Structure 1
Amino acid sequence: MSPGPAFSDAEVERYARHLVLREIGGPGQQKLRAARILIVGMGGLGAPASLYLAAAGVGGLVIADPDRVETSNLQRQVIFTTTDRGRSKVDAGLRRLTDLNPHVETQALQLTVDASNARDLIDGFDLVLDGTDDFATRLAVSDACTATGTPLVSGAIGRWTGQVGVFTGRPCYRCLVPEIPPEVETCQAVGVIGALAGVIGAMMALEAIKLVTGAGESLAGRLLVYDALSAVTRTVRVAPDPHCPSCGGDQTGGV
């Protein structure tokens, strides 16, 4: 890959802490500027993840969410303010991201990502972050990423526990969650500690930056689980499912 255009003086100043970082430097920052990333869900996880990716200098950032900002969102969805109540999340988020870093090309999609549109939407992106709170969307995004060969960073939170996984082929997210669980707790019903969304969302952004720049060792094939009440983090391997309809066998299922 040939290097992109030279950074302007304003970009050099903005990304100075990356440029002197051995694992990123100029080549890594060029990769970030060339990257096109989709964030599905602008809730508790998409909010901090999008802020950190915009701040990091990701060149193309697209955010997708069908919802509008509600007062109850403000406890954890830190990209929004009180005056954003009633606005679409993607429009409010787009304004904040542009204010944070005008060098990033941002786009807002006020839509629901599902099995009918996920593959066409995801095809062409370098990376997808999924911070949604329903399994139907998560599985649709995972299947589409598997079908298009797009790396996926997936995050989830509940009460006091969060998790981050990276899926770059086999295993895929469907190997971990084959189908929608019959009983699912929602944050609305059982609650969630607000700061946990920031922790997991920032981890998602960090894994995305590592994938794009090639820095360090990614979580690919592993799941990081964080218990905030006990301040304990553990990482477990995700085993490929040989019968997975998305990434296993003859791959006749999926999207």
Structure 2
Amino acid sequence: MTFRAVRVLKEAAVIAAEDTRHTLKLLNHFDIHVPLISYHEHNKDERGPEIIQRLLNGETIALVSDAGMPGISDPGVDLVRLAVMDGVPVVPLPGANAALTALIASGLDTNTFTFVGFLPKTNKHRREMLSKLSNHPYTLVFYEAPHRVRATLHEIKAAFGDRQATIARELTKKFEEFIRGDLDSIERHFVEHQPRGEFTLLVAGRPEGEKLAEEPDALAGLDVIQAVAELMNQGINKKDAIREVASQKGLPKRQVYQAVLDSDLV
């Protein structure tokens, strides 16, 4: 919590919160006496326009989330969109964010990373996303609820193989903990220990030199441009996609590169 955030909350006409009872504890701690209204996933369609109208009338409204930063895997993103559409200034107040907080202490590559957040709820869509991400060369950052941690670890390992990973839980809180190792050892850890708290999962990208997951049936009927485009749609960068297509089709990499260059494929 920053001095600036405390000041802004004190100066706001009203504070919009996911759980007003939860936020009231924070306000009491900092001796902040500002009216609270609820804004969450289940009332955002109705409450959002009401908040925008109050903002257009000149009020200053502060938005807080139960944990982390509003707008990251959070319904605050919808309120920001409405505000931007109506020309209402949006002022971010940086604070603790689980993804970045976990990343910097993970021991994994921080130069280039991809934030995934929560995986889809349905088995089919979750498997499809993990299949696409399996060839991703950068550190991947997931969020997960405690009751889903074991299953998600198993699914990621099945899709990616046994890579280096870190799990962080209860970040910035009393029971903050980091579990580092490979996916296999971390999965075994949670067989012996009940997952508790909010979790951030970080998984290393596809190791350099590891063969890309092949989909010969999907690429066989495509020309080189279509094949490269298909792999890029799966999250593979252009350079690796060109190399893989050249390998699968038995062509010189330079020939595939030139064909892609001539096609203006982004």
- TM-score of the aligned structures, taking structure 1 as reference length: 0.31
Select the structure of larger CA radius of gyration. 2
Higher relative contact order (CA 8 A, sep 6+): 1
